[in-house]
Chains A and B, each alone.
Chain A
Amino acid sequence: DGGITQSPKYLFRKEGQNVTLSCEQNLNHDAMYWYRQDPGQGLRLIYYSQIVNDFQKGDIAEGYSVSREKKESFPLTVTSAQKNPTAFYLCASRPSVDGYNSPLHFGNGTRLTVT
């Protein structure tokens, strides 16, 4: 079955370390997204990419970086510059052909804890 795989499900890091979260999709979707979820704050957009080798900052991009070298993959790096990195991170994708009418498909998330 097609879908979005995020790994690992739980991730623990020490403060000051960079960490990369994996996101892979086999849905042949063009656009991919990273959201951060904190309790009581809904989802906030970190970065998104509509095509390979191109990406745009979302609303809370500071302290994060991404790459889009392959259509299937959109890894997110949480750098030491991110002040409050502990959160639940969600990756999503959608086809571009229907544009804004298409819903997002989500992975099951990675819970990052930084101490």
Chain B
Amino acid sequence: GDSVTQMEGPVTLSEEAFLTINCTYTATGYPSLFWYVQYPGEGLQLLLKATKADDKGSNKGFEATYRKETTSFHLEKGSVQVSDSAVYFCALSDNFGGTSGSRLTFGEGTQLTVNP
């Protein structure tokens, strides 16, 4: 079945540091890939997405590139801020057959803390 693996957290950085959160996946079809962010006590918000190989999703300074050859979708940001402190989830949506395309599979989440 489909699965998403994220780097283990938590991750603690100083303000203006470079961020990478690794995400790899296994899927039976040709998935779409997503990054979501969750602030304390809230639901998840879409951060960015990519729907086919070599696509780059970007938003609010965050970027991720869909790498089919390495089955990866790593999240990066060049200079993090304190306000970026949150939990980040990588997810995939697969189009392989039947109703499976209507589901999203999530990674376990990575807690990011940015210190001033």
Q: Is B46 on the interface with A (CB-CB < 8 A)?
A: yes
Known: A42-B106, A96-B102, A100-B95. A108 touches B43 (CB 8 A): yes
Q: Which residues of B contact A31 (CB under 8 A)?
A: 102
Alpha-carbon distance between A108 and B43 when the two chains are bound, in angstroms: 4
User: How many A-B contacts at CB < 8 Å in the complex?
Assistant: 62
Question: A101 contacts B51, CB within 8 Å?
Answer: yes
Q: Which residues of A contact B49 (CB under 8 A)?
A: 101, 103
User: In which size bucket is the chain A interface?
Assistant: 20 to 34
Q: Is A76 on the interface with B (CB-CB < 8 A)?
A: no
User: In which size bucket is the chain B interface?
Assistant: 20 to 34
Question: A106 contacts B94, CB within 8 Å?
Answer: no
Instruction: State which of A40, A41, A50, A90 has its C-beta within 8 Å of the C-beta of B99.
Output: A50
Q: Is B103 on the interface with A (CB-CB < 8 A)?
A: yes
Known: A40-B108, A42-B89, A101-B51. A106 touches B101 (CB 8 A): no
B positions within 8 Å CB-CB of A: 31-32, 34, 36, 41-46, 49, 51, 89, 93-95, 99, 101-104, 106-109
In the complex, 17 of the A-B residue pairs with CB atoms within 8 angstroms, ordered by the A residue number, are A6-B43, A33-B103, A41-B108, A42-B109, A43-B44, A45-B104, A96-B102, A99-B102, A100-B93, A100-B94, A101-B51, A101-B93, A104-B104, A106-B43, A107-B43, A108-B43, A109-B42
